[in-house]
Amino acid sequence: MFEKLKDGLRIFGAFFFMMPQLTPNKLVIETLRVSEAKYRNLFEHIDQGVIYLDGAGVVIAANQAVEHIFGVSRDRVVGRKFLDTCFKAIKEDGSVFLEQQQPSVLALRTGKPVEGMVMGLFNVDRQSYTWVVVNSVPEFRQGEVRPYQILMTLTDITQQKLSEGKLSLASVIFNNIGEGIFVTDKDKKIVSVNDAFTAMTGFSYQDVHGKRAHFLQVKKNHLKVDEAVTEQGMGMNSWQGEVWRRHKNNKDFPSWTTVSEVKDSDGAVTHYVHVFMDITHFKKAQDHLGFLAYHDPLTKLPNRLLLKDRIDHSLQNAVREGSQAAVLFLDLDRFKNINDTYGHDVGDGLLMEVAKRIKNLVRKEDTFSRYAGDEFVVFMENIPDAKNPAKLARKLIGTFDAPVYIKGHRLKISTSVGISLFPQDGRDTETLIKNADVAMYRAKKEGRNNFQYYSPEMNHQAFEKMTIESALCQSIDQHELILYYQPQVCLKTGKLVGVESLVRWMHPTRGLMSPQQFIPIAEEIGFIVALGEWVLQNACMQMRRWLDQGFRVNKMVVNVSAVQFLRSDFVATVERILALSGLEPRYLELELAGGNFMDNSEQTIKALNQLVTAGIDLTIDDFGVGCFSFNNLKRIPVKKLKINSSFVVDVVNNAEDEDIARAVIALGHGLHLQVIAMGIESKAQQNRLSDLGCDEGQGYLYGYPVLPWSEVFQKMMKQ
């Protein structure tokens, strides 16, 4: 076809250039006219682009197909060099054709045809490339060795290139996609697989070619995929579902598979394409999520949801069988202090150790659950009698006699246990757990580290406790807290050396309550931080007012709970309150409860040093009561020790108390510390302590805690 076209165009070209030289013979003219019309029609309407270029590479003629290929009219093509006409020409690899590589230039330079060159020519209208196969044929005049013109034909292969691109892309996807793919014929026999298939199953193409698709399935599937496709997928384009796949090394795995039909032009199925992915990790994650839905992620114990489900089921059996059951509600004593002191990592480690110890004590048929925080529940089903849970409760309490070691810290803990019985204390899960919780709070009230059975009157007490907790949390907003002040004096001179602030709560119905009645509750429910901050701020502001009024007061003494000074922001809080009140740090003294001071807390040591550096004095309160490390006393920059009143009350008549007081005073002085005794109520106590070398005293002998405007108190401050 190309040869015929070339011959015809050559004749037309010869006529085109030689027409002025012909003789005016009518017959010749008519013959040439007919021939010219024939080949011009061929030139214009052929679907190939045709371009004539002269010996300089300038376009002298172009047909309509060229306009379609370039996306511009022939007027913009003719009269210009081909390279100028072609806005951009690229190779198949995307690189730009250089001038010397252009087919027309090569044909002009070499005098030889250049055929089958593929070019991408930029189409202005479509703003995209039209791909063509270019043939450039040089034409010579007789006796000349250099072409006088070039015949170029351009065959549009854009659609072919797009199809090839799609096939190439499909091939790349098929071989590089992460999902496994295998193709079967209409008889379900495997005819093709991709690389991911081999990677997932271990089977090569040779291993599976010609085998039916169900060869790749295992018995765990309830229905073979080819059967499912036949039964469910006929008349549909695809089927999908979970399929267990066979691996060459016998390690079966779950997959999510999609099977799609491939049909011919008549609608008949010719192939099936199976696309699958390994969902082993997804199944594990799903199982893990299912586990987490019913278990505590830290201890791996059943959570309250699973606990309720098991108790509900067991109670149904207990009703039918007439058996008894019990709920034991455990709460770790002072766990919050450990968490706040050592951090949550240590707290979590402690909870895991607690879970381990308790799990070793309960029966296999019992349910042991982490209920919330540091609360645990043991459900005992089918117990022989009401006394049986007490045996377990004693074991649970006793298992914590041995200390717990977590991350290098030696922790001594205890637990309080409440017990409720089925059916007498409740006939449903919620009631049994609630009543066991109430009994647990009674155990805490009775001194902790013990167990209590539920009794109906406990509900009233629990309600009252909850009412007090709620009211206490509102006490600041309701302006119910009041600060009283008690003087501290020098035992030698009797002069005022400081004032201790003591908080009271004016309960709306119970009246004035002492700290012993509500401070433990505040610590238990976490309100102590807000309460302590309120006390510190109001005490500093009162001290500032006294100083402005000209009263002679050396120190404002404020008690600080261990929960407060163990907080990371405590130093910043003190500094903020001093700045707010305008009180200089040298007027503030903080009393730290020695019995609650924790060992091995570098953070605490650092914070206390920061306070002293700022100019604040520190006192260890209740020295001699509770556990206090003398090593910490060496490391903490305290200025004063306070002797607990229990050693003062009989200091005159009891030789042991006197010896203790003497030892504390000697220890304090040996460490260059001042010593103050609290609870002095008589002159005899004062004299004995003074003889022992005690520096300061506090107690009813010098004044009861009074409000700041008390005349007696103000008179003392003016002396």
User: Cβ(151)–Cβ(63) under 8 Å?
Assistant: no
- pLDDT at position 547: 92
Q: How far apart are CA 500 and CA 703, in angstroms?
A: 11
From first CA to last CA, the distance across the chain in angstroms is 129
Peptide bond into 423 cis (omega under 30): yes
pLDDT grade, residue 232 (50/70/90)? Answer: very low
Q: How many residues does the chain have?
A: 719
Instruction: Write out the H or E segment, with its range, that includes residue 391.
Output: helix 388-398
Among residues 498, 445, 486, which one has the least CA distance to residue 645? 486
pLDDT grade, residue 474 (50/70/90)? Answer: very high
Among residues 389, 364, 474, which one has the least CA distance to residue 440? 389
In the predicted model, what is the mean pLDDT of residues 465-480? 89
Among residues 269, 298, 18, which one has the least CA distance to residue 141? 18
Q: pLDDT > 90: what percent of the chain?
A: 40
Query: What's the maximum distance between 2 C-alpha atoms anywhere in the chain?
Result: 161
In a domain, 18, yes or no: no
Say yes or no: 448 and 523 in one domain: no
Given a cut of 60, whether residue 596 has pLDDT beyond it is: no
For 309, the token pair is 């489900």
- pLDDT at position 172: 65
- pLDDT at position 553: 87
Residue with more model confidence, 606 or 30: 606
Given a cut of 70, whether residue 33 has pLDDT beyond it is: no
User: Cβ(151)–Cβ(168) under 8 Å?
Assistant: no
Q: How far apart are CA 228 and CA 215, in angstroms?
A: 15
Say yes or no: 305 and 357 in one domain: yes
Say yes or no: 190 and 270 in one domain: yes
**Burial of 595 from C-beta contacts in 10 A (0-12 / 13-18 / 19+):** middle
Q: How far apart are CA 590 and CA 571, in angstroms?
A: 12
pLDDT grade, residue 145 (50/70/90)? Answer: confident
Say yes or no: 451 and 351 in one domain: yes
Say yes or no: 324 and 432 in one domain: yes
In a domain, 1, yes or no: no
User: Cβ(277)–Cβ(179) under 8 Å?
Assistant: yes
- 528-548 vs 570-581: helix axis angle to the nearest 10? 30
User: Cβ(137)–Cβ(106) under 8 Å?
Assistant: no
- pLDDT at position 580: 95
Q: How far apart are CA 244 and CA 227, in angstroms?
A: 15
Say yes or no: 520 and 579 in one domain: yes
Say yes or no: 490 and 604 in one domain: yes
- pLDDT at position 283: 79
In the predicted model, what is the mean pLDDT of residues 447-465? 80
In the predicted model, what is the mean pLDDT of residues 600-626? 80
Given a cut of 60, whether residue 176 has pLDDT beyond it is: yes
Which residues have C-beta within 8 Å of that of residue 530, sequence separation ≥ 6?
476
Q: Which residues pair with residue 383 across a beta bridge?
A: 324
pLDDT grade, residue 433 (50/70/90)? Answer: very high
Residue with more model confidence, 463 or 559: 559
Given a cut of 50, whether residue 164 has pLDDT beyond it is: yes
- Would you call 384 helix, strand, or coil by DSSP? coil
Which residues have C-beta within 8 Å of that of residue 313, sequence separation ≥ 6?
none
Q: How far apart are CA 400 and CA 61, in angstroms?
A: 104
Residue with more model confidence, 704 or 228: 704
In the predicted model, what is the mean pLDDT of residues 460-484? 86
User: Cβ(451)–Cβ(444) under 8 Å?
Assistant: no
- pLDDT at position 30: 60
The number of folded domains in the chain is 4
Given a cut of 80, whether residue 357 has pLDDT beyond it is: yes
The domain spanning residue 382 has which CATH number?
3.30.70.270
Helical residues (DSSP H) of 491-639, grouped into ranges: 515-525, 528-548, 562-565, 570-581, 602-613, 630-635
Given a cut of 70, whether residue 468 has pLDDT beyond it is: yes
Question: What's CA 663's distance to the chain center, in Å?
Answer: 55
Say yes or no: 487 and 447 in one domain: no
For 164, the token pair is 């090839």
Q: Which residues pair with residue 678 across a beta bridge?
A: 698
Q: How far apart are CA 633 and CA 100, in angstroms?
A: 94
- pLDDT at position 599: 46
Residue with more model confidence, 539 or 637: 539
- pLDDT at position 683: 95
In a domain, 15, yes or no: no
In a domain, 173, yes or no: no
Q: How far apart are CA 335 and CA 374, in angstroms?
A: 7
**Domain end among 393, 424, 455:** 455
Helical residues (DSSP H) of 258-343, grouped into ranges: 280-294, 304-321, 335-342
In a domain, 27, yes or no: no
Say yes or no: 141 and 235 in one domain: no
In a domain, 26, yes or no: no
- Best-predicted range by mean pLDDT among 26-30, 277-281, 686-690? 686-690
Among residues 449, 432, 457, 429, which one has the least CA distance to residue 330? 449
In a domain, 195, yes or no: yes
State the CB neighbour count (10 A cutoff) for residue 292.
Answer: 12
The domain spanning residue 558 has which CATH number?
3.20.20.450
- pLDDT at position 138: 92
- pLDDT at position 415: 94
- pLDDT at position 608: 84
User: Cβ(273)–Cβ(288) under 8 Å?
Assistant: no
For 291, the token pair is 């586990």
In the predicted model, what is the mean pLDDT of residues 566-576? 88
Per-residue pLDDT tens digits for 68-114: 888 888 888 888 887 677 667 888 777 888 888 888 889 988 999 99
Q: How far apart are CA 147 and CA 141, in angstroms?
A: 7
pTM metric for this prediction: 0.48
- pLDDT at position 607: 83
Q: How far apart are CA 542 and CA 537, in angstroms?
A: 9
Given a cut of 80, whether residue 326 has pLDDT beyond it is: yes
The domain spanning residue 64 has which CATH number?
3.30.450.20
Given a cut of 80, whether residue 425 has pLDDT beyond it is: yes
Pairing between β-strand 556-560 and β-strand 496-507 as defined by DSSP bridges: parallel
**Domain end among 429, 455, 481:** 455
Say yes or no: 579 and 657 in one domain: yes
Given a cut of 70, whether residue 5 has pLDDT beyond it is: no
In a domain, 36, yes or no: no
- pLDDT at position 461: 67
Say yes or no: 112 and 190 in one domain: no
- pLDDT at position 595: 53
Question: What's CA 230's distance to the chain center, in Å?
Answer: 45
Per-residue pLDDT tens digits for 644-703: 888 899 899 888 889 989 999 999 998 899 999 999 999 999 999 999 999 999 999 998
pLDDT grade, residue 344 (50/70/90)? Answer: confident
Query: What residue numbers bound the domain in which 115 lies?
Result: 46-163
- pLDDT at position 233: 45
pLDDT grade, residue 142 (50/70/90)? Answer: confident
The values of phi and psi at residue 404, to 5°, are -110, 135
pLDDT grade, residue 231 (50/70/90)? Answer: very low
For 715, the token pair is 């008179």
Say yes or no: 448 and 484 in one domain: no
**Domain end among 250, 279, 308:** 279
Given a cut of 60, whether residue 183 has pLDDT beyond it is: yes
Given a cut of 90, whether residue 624 has pLDDT beyond it is: no
Q: pLDDT > 70: what percent of the chain?
A: 86
- Would you call 429 helix, strand, or coil by DSSP? helix
In the predicted model, what is the mean pLDDT of residues 427-441? 92
Going along 27-88, which residue ranges are E strands? 49-54, 59-62
pLDDT grade, residue 600 (50/70/90)? Answer: very low
Among residues 480, 418, 478, 481, which one has the least CA distance to residue 453? 418
Q: How far apart are CA 699 and CA 297, in angstroms?
A: 52
